[in-house]
Structure 1
């Protein structure tokens, strides 16, 4: 990991990015912290060209997105055009639709459906990446949901965007999970887990209990391209949280 590979997930700043003015102000702060790129997710209904302009004006790449499943099933050509405009190769889905959850057959059906979408994206040199939560680690016999997604999806058309916090919350070692998706994870979500008042909570990178030197090394081992900092809920100003995480990750970065 190099510093220029560290990105900020705008979902962390969703309350500040509801309109173009807020987005621009937020991107200026993100750039000032030191980030080189952002993932577009959770922002307000801002025109794609305005998002592109705001990112360009602040010297930030758009490395990945999160879109709704309907953007992939009902508006795929529009979604492709937006990602091309943004020079963004990674089309992320933040969660499996509820209709596919709760059974091995549902996960298998989703793996097949998303793989077909991924094949269409590949024709445009774009890549589908799936972001997990905790529920994918529920077991269905000998396998959990993530096992099914990994084993029954197309290895080139269905990529992963592992979220380290949710992997840990699912009872799996993030380092092991990262190695399981070797060759299929160009983007990773980094967030730490702390225990406060006997409850687990989101924490800035380096402020919790997870082994991030080992996690970053595992990502290096499998060739991860983008290291995206996300914090769903912050106990302080979200910009300060992003700065704390960036400072810690910078200490692990290679020259």
Structure 2
């Protein structure tokens, strides 16, 4: 049975304004059964709210976000300084998965840098595995760039055999691959999947003003960047094929995420995504 959840990054502002438990109540009312904690503080108030939602609403914690090292671009929990707290929070919340949301930017620029990141990830994955916790790595489009004919994704997978993966189908498609094919290739290593649609927006009328002003470069910049993050079912990804393959490949949690909402209320976006998932029979 598919466990459909929410990536809490989508409602981080609402959590900041209302507190986490009222937000989790609304998520549960929409039919979601799990959450992934990301860009939300793991302070006592939020951990207690997650624990209460697990016990009273039946909302599971699918995964906790972590970094390998604390730094300027990773201000949340990091395994080099917060390892014991991460493990304690996972045990308290009955959470079996942690996930790295992105490799550091400086790890993307060379093959040696990717390998070094993957070696660190392998060490962290082994350390967490000894505590009964699986570490997963979440992809973006850049993971399908190549160094010496090998994608960043393949390098990480080769160098870090203990690491599992969180496949984000939008970023797979933006990276030029078919999400169904990638989910099939990662069978047995992909317990977490991000459901996020891929929409090509219409040209804004304002772009014509750039042409009239002779700003062809500005016009082409807008023309080349029409891809949007979309509610599930509002774009071009075939979730009728994606979800069955995700489940066949071993996915336990299918997590709805939308990086940008384009002025919409996040709960309206989540309601639309859930309606499409339900229309497919899940």
- TM bracket (short chain): over 0.9
Match of 1:39 in 2: 36
What's the CA shift string for 1:78-118, capped at 9, x where partnerless? 11111111110010111112232211111112111111111
- Correspondence for 2:256 among 229, 247, 252: 229
What's the CA shift string for 1:140-199, capped at 9, x where partnerless? 121111111122211xx2000011111111111111111121110001011001111250
- Is the contact between residue 199 and residue 234 of structure 2 (CA under 8 Å) also seen in structure 1? yes
What's the CA shift string for 1:194-217, capped at 9, x where partnerless? 111250101110110111111112
- Counterpart-to-counterpart distance in 1, 2:260 and 2:276: 18
- Is the contact between residue 180 and residue 242 of structure 2 (CA under 8 Å) also seen in structure 1? yes
CA 1:27–1:50 in structure 2 vs 1: closer, same or farther (change >3 Å)? Answer: closer
Match of 1:251 in 2: 279
Match of 2:144 in 1: 137
Match of 1:26 in 2: 23
Identify the range of structure 1 (170-179 vs 36-45) with the bigger mean alpha-carbon deviation: 36-45
- Counterpart-to-counterpart distance in 2, 1:175 and 1:106: 29
- Is the contact between residue 170 and residue 198 of structure 2 (CA under 8 Å) also seen in structure 1? yes
1:92 aligns with 2:99: yes
Q: CA deviation at 1:25?
A: 1.7
- Counterpart-to-counterpart distance in 1, 2:176 and 2:97: 27
- Counterpart-to-counterpart distance in 1, 2:85 and 2:277: 35
Q: CA deviation at 1:247?
A: 1.3
CA 1:174–1:195 in structure 2 vs 1: closer, same or farther (change >3 Å)? Answer: same
Tell me the SS of whatever aligns to 2:16: coil
- Counterpart-to-counterpart distance in 2, 1:126 and 1:45: 17
Q: CA deviation at 1:45?
A: 5.4
- Counterpart-to-counterpart distance in 2, 1:215 and 1:43: 28
The number of equivalent residue pairs is 249
- Which ranges of structure 1 fall in alignment gaps of 5 or more residues? none
- Counterpart-to-counterpart distance in 1, 2:157 and 2:41: 32
Q: CA deviation at 1:139?
A: 1.2
- Counterpart-to-counterpart distance in 2, 1:69 and 1:34: 33
CA 1:115–1:45 in structure 2 vs 1: closer, same or farther (change >3 Å)? Answer: closer
Q: CA deviation at 1:221?
A: 1.8
- 1:91-170 mapped onto 2 (5 Å cutoff): 91-154=98-161, 157-170=162-175
Match of 1:203 in 2: 230
Match of 1:213 in 2: 240
1:78 aligns with 2:85: yes
- Counterpart-to-counterpart distance in 2, 1:233 and 1:98: 21
* Structure with more contact order per residue of length (Cα contacts < 8 Å, sep ≥ 6): 1
- Counterpart-to-counterpart distance in 1, 2:111 and 2:179: 22
- Which ranges of structure 2 fall in alignment gaps of 5 or more residues? 70-77, 204-225
- Is the contact between residue 191 and residue 250 of structure 2 (CA under 8 Å) also seen in structure 1? yes
Task: Provide the TM-score with structure 2 as the length reference.
Answer: 0.84
Identify the range of structure 1 (28-37 vs 105-114) with the bigger mean alpha-carbon deviation: 105-114
